[in-house]
Amino acid sequence: MNSATTLDNDSVKHFSVRLWTEFVMLGLGLPAAIWVASKLIKLSIPAATHGSPGERFLWWIAGPAIAEWLFVLGVVLILRGRQLSLRDIGVWRVGNWKAWLVALGFAALGIAGNLRFLPRMGVPISAAFFPQGFHLVASLMMGITAGFCEEVLFRAFLMTEFANAGYRTVAQVLIPGVAFGLSHAGYLNQGFLPWLGIAVPTAFGGMLWGVSYLLGRRSLVPAILAHFLNDATALPWISFFMVTGALGRAPG
């Protein structure tokens, strides 16, 4: 009996170490990978540093996109090693009306909050919904990468890991939400307080999309679409100004 108990305790300890390693890898390892990818792009592609504002912005987006898609690939390989797939953690499930209400409701609040900055930048509100030129490419890159990759990583995968470890529903929502906020550490280059102003609402939004995921019985599609809309509308314009300082520059 002592031997069996020892094995059980060892298994629990191993699972706990794996779980919190995944938390650290997503919360802190992902921004580190984004930093490395961004540095490699700047060192190897002159346009990333000396190009037009549009070129510099698109290459700035490319670093996070590359890192996040590689992390999703890593999750796919981890699941395959367990004889599972993205379908098993709800990535393709459509959900129910409750999940859609929470997911789209928060996205609407986020978009409305971001839209108020556009007139101050000399950008018409319509540009957030009908971008042109490189702004269209930027919107699609940011929206698709954030909407799919971040929801797979922080909602479908990490929340499922905490569920499988026996954590209660509240912890499944709160802890991955904190990791989601930490993963935006790249904004620390804007200063600690600006980063904190981004990380806290980001973590809160991640928690609400986590609630949506659970309300839909672990259905990720509502959160994917809501996250896409949030990151593909006004946010690219705000990021464009933060990165380039090109206030109100016409698309093209």
> What local confidence, expressed as pLDDT, does residue 170 receive?
97
Compute the average pLDDT of residues 70-78: 98
Query: Cα separation of 178 and 192, whole Å?
Result: 17
> What local confidence, expressed as pLDDT, does residue 4 receive?
40
pTM: 0.91
Tokens of 124: 């018409």
Instruction: Give the phi and the psi of residue 245 in degrees, each rounded to 5.
Output: 70, 10
> What local confidence, expressed as pLDDT, does residue 251 receive?
40
Compute the average pLDDT of residues 55-78: 97
**pLDDT per residue as tens digits for the range 26-38:** 999 999 999 999 9
> Quick check: is 252 in a domain?
no
What's the structural domain count of the chain?
1
> Quick check: is 95 in a domain?
yes
> Quick check: is 160 in a domain?
yes
In terms of residue numbers, what domain contains 153? 2-244
**pLDDT per residue as tens digits for the range 81-106:** 999 999 999 999 999 999 999 999 99
Q: Is the pLDDT of residue 44 over 50?
A: yes
> Quick check: is 26 in a domain?
yes
> Quick check: is 251 in a domain?
no
More confident residue, 91 or 11: 91
Contact 109, 119 (CB under 8 A): no
> Quick check: is 249 in a domain?
no
> What local confidence, expressed as pLDDT, does residue 150 receive?
98
**pLDDT per residue as tens digits for the range 158-169:** 999 999 999 999
Q: Is the pLDDT of residue 188 over 50?
A: yes
> Quick check: is 226 in a domain?
yes
Q: Is the pLDDT of residue 73 over 50?
A: yes
> Quick check: is 219 in a domain?
yes
- The residues, any chain, with a CB within 8 Å of residue 158's CB and separated by 6 or more, are 22, 23, 26, 176, 179
> What local confidence, expressed as pLDDT, does residue 189 receive?
67
Convert 174-193 into a string of H (helix), E (strand) and C (coil): HHHHHHHHHCCHHHHHHCHH
* CA quadruple 86, 87, 91, 92: dihedral sign: positive
Q: Is the pLDDT of residue 249 over 70?
A: no
Q: How far is CA 66 from CA 18, 22, 33, 60, in A?
A: 24, 19, 9, 11
Mean pLDDT over the full length of the chain: 91
Q: Is the pLDDT of residue 250 over 70?
A: no
Tokens of 229: 């809309």
> What local confidence, expressed as pLDDT, does residue 186 receive?
75
Compute the average pLDDT of residues 118-139: 95
